[in-house]
């Protein structure tokens, strides 16, 4: 193999590996968000929830050194925090956008305060205990696809599995049908004997669990530390993925890979050095998100018809 070709292969491998790695947490959050939106709730609060999940998993891992319990703790905190959000969205019928945004600001405040309080004077380690990339024998040694597909952490494979589970639950179970009906036509769902409130609580809490876990994913498989800026808009990127994925978990998986690729591209390009200004590269994933959310690519036509419409009886 000659020089330039080798560099090219190295670039592609680094880039693709990073793509999948970066796609993991946002995909997880997007899968949960799909349930919330299919039930009729636009849960913008996942951004803050990811942050709370990240903090929780960091602290638990810091104090116990155990990674699975840290992940579970993040998931539980996600559910608990979204209990409040669900109450705002469904019971109080507050504006979903406003409630979600305020929650995100609040979560940031709480997370920094708790972090400082908890770690006040203790020395912060280089890194806490983390999930390591797997080394799958044989498959992992294949050229290019070996490291890309078979050298990820267990969380990545878990997330992909969850995408299939999510798809199955949404489209092949009574619960999924009831959930989607609540987001399409809540009055019709109600009339069919479905509790729309319960469905929307369920959707919101599922998105909370997934977002909490996504926060854990970030800390436990990617960063190894907690920073206030650790999430930096990944919740919003997840919202974009849901739209690009047309409210379908499997399509969202593909969308997440594309986002991951954009994100990784800017990283790899920075490492390998280009003439493109780094600020522009950094902005790339967000630009794609804004385009997705803008509805320029359709989307409006397929979004749950009663998305963001509170359901009022009587």
Partner 1 sequence: MKHTLEMRNIVKRFPGVLANNNVNLTIQAGEIHALLGENGAGKSTLMQILYGFHSMDSGEILIDGETVRLGSPKDAIALGIGMVHQEFMLVRRFSVVENTVLGLREGNGPLLDLRRASEKLKDLSNRHGLALDPAAEVGLLPIGVQQRVEILKLLYRDARLLILDEPTAVLTPREKDQLFGVLRKLREDGRSVVLVTHKLAEIMEIADRVTVMRDGQVVATREIGSTNGQELTRLMVGREVNLRADKSAQKPGAAILQVEELRVRDETGHEKVRGLNLEVHAGEILGIAGVDGNGQSELAEAVMHLREIKSGRVILKGADVTRLSVALHRTLGISYVPADRRHVGSVTEMSVADNAILGLQRKYRRGIFRGIREARESARGLVARFGIRTGGIDFAAGKLSGGNLQKLILGREIMRGSAALVVEHPTRGLDVGAVEAVWGELLRARQEGKAILLISAELEELLNLADRIAVMFEGRIMGVVDAAGASVEEIGLMMAGITAPGAAAAGLGNKEAHRGETL
d(CA 31, CA 127): 28
C-alpha dist (Å) from residue 213 to 99, 189, 208, 292 = 21, 30, 8, 24
Q: Is 314 a binder of partner 1 (CB under 8 A)?
A: yes
Query: Does residue 306 contact residue 184 with C-beta atoms inside 8 Å?
Result: yes
Give the CA distances from residue 85 to residues 65, 130, 214, 312, in Å, rounded to whole numbers and listed in that order: 31, 30, 18, 18
Least spacing, CB of residue 44 vs partner 1, in Å? 23
User: Does residue 165 belong to the site contacting partner 1 (CB under 8 A)?
Assistant: no
Is 305 an interacting residue with respect to partner 1 (CB under 8 A)? yes
Binding residue (CB under 8 A) for partner 1 from 93, 135, 172, 300: 172
User: Which letter does DSSP use for residue 141 in this model?
Assistant: G
- Rounded to whole angstroms, how far apart are CA atoms 197 and 182? 9
Pick from 133, 140, 146, 176: which binds partner 1 (CB under 8 A)? 176
SS3 assignment, position 153: coil
Of 122 and 174, nearer to partner 1 (C-beta) is: 174
Please choose, from the candidates 294, 265, 273, the residue with its C-alpha nearest in 3D space to the C-alpha of residue 17.
265
Q: Which stretch binds partner 1 (CB under 8 A): 34-42, 104-112, 177-185, 210-218?
A: 177-185
Q: Which of 2, 5, 122, 174 binds partner 1 (CB under 8 A)?
A: 174
Interface segment toward partner 1; rule CB under 8 A; list 54-62, 171-179, 225-233, 259-267 = 171-179
In three-state secondary structure terms, 105 is helix
Interaction between residue 91 and partner 1 (CB under 8 A): no
The only residue of 11, 87, 112, 190 in contact with partner 1, by rule CB under 8 A: 190
CA within 13 Å, CB half, 122: 11
Residue of the chain from 187, 280, 287, 296 that contacts partner 1 (CB under 8 A): 187
Closest CA to 15 of 275, 298, 274, 196: 274
With CB under 8 A as the contact rule, the residue among 64, 195, 270, 294 that binds partner 1 is: 195
Nearer to partner 1 (CB atom), residue 21 or residue 200: 200
**Residue whose entry in the numeric block shows the structure tokens 């849960």:** 43
Among 28, 194, 219, 231, binds partner 1 (CB under 8 A): 194
Task: Decide if residue 192 touches partner 1 (CB under 8 A).
Answer: yes
Judged by CB under 8 A, the number of residues near partner 1 is 23
Write down the residue that tokens 């090219």 correspond to.
8
Q: Does 228 bind partner 1 (CB under 8 A)?
A: no
Q: Tell me which residues touch partner 1 (CB under 8 A).
A: 172-178, 180-181, 184-185, 187-195, 305, 313-314
């Amino acid at each position: 193999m000659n020089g330039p070709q080798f560099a090219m292969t190295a670039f592609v491998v680094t880039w693709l590996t990073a793509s999948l790695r970066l796609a993991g947490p946002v995909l997880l959050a997007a899968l949960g968000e799909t349930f919330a939106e299919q039930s009729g709730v636009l849960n913008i609060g996942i951004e803050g929830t990811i942050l709370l999940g990240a903090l929780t998993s960091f602290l638990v891992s810091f104090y116990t050194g155990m990674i699975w319990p840290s992940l579970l703790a993040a998931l539980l905190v996600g559910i608990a925090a979204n209990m409040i959000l669900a109450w705002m969205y469904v019971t109080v019928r507050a504006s979903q956008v406003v409630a979600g945004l305020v929650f995100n600001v609040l979560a940031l405040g709480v997370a920094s305060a708790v972090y400082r309080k908890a770690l006040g004077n203790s020395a912060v380690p280089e890194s806490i205990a983390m999930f390591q990339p797997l080394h799958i024998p044989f498959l992992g040694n294949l050229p290019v696809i070996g490291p890309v597909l078979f050298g990820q952490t267990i969380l990545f494979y878990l997330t992909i599995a969850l995408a299939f589970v999510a798809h199955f639950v949404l489209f092949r179970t009574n619960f999924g049908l009831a959930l989607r009906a609540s987001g399409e036509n809540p009055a019709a769902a109600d009339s069919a004997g479905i509790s729309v409130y319960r469905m929307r609580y369920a959707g919101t809490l599922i998105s909370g669990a997934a977002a909490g876990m996504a926060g854990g994913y970030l800390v436990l498989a990617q960063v190894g530390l907690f920073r206030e800026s650790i999430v930096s808009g990944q919740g919003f990127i997840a919202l974009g993925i849901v739209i690009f994925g047309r409210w379908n978990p499997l399509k969202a998986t593909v969308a997440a890979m594309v986002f991951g690729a954009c994100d990784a591209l800017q990283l790899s390009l920075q490492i390998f050095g280009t003439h493109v200004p780094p600020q522009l590269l950094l902005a790339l994933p967000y630009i794609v998100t804004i385009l997705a959310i803008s509805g320029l690519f359709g989307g409006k036509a397929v979004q749950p018809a009663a998305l963001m419409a509170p359901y009022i009886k009587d």
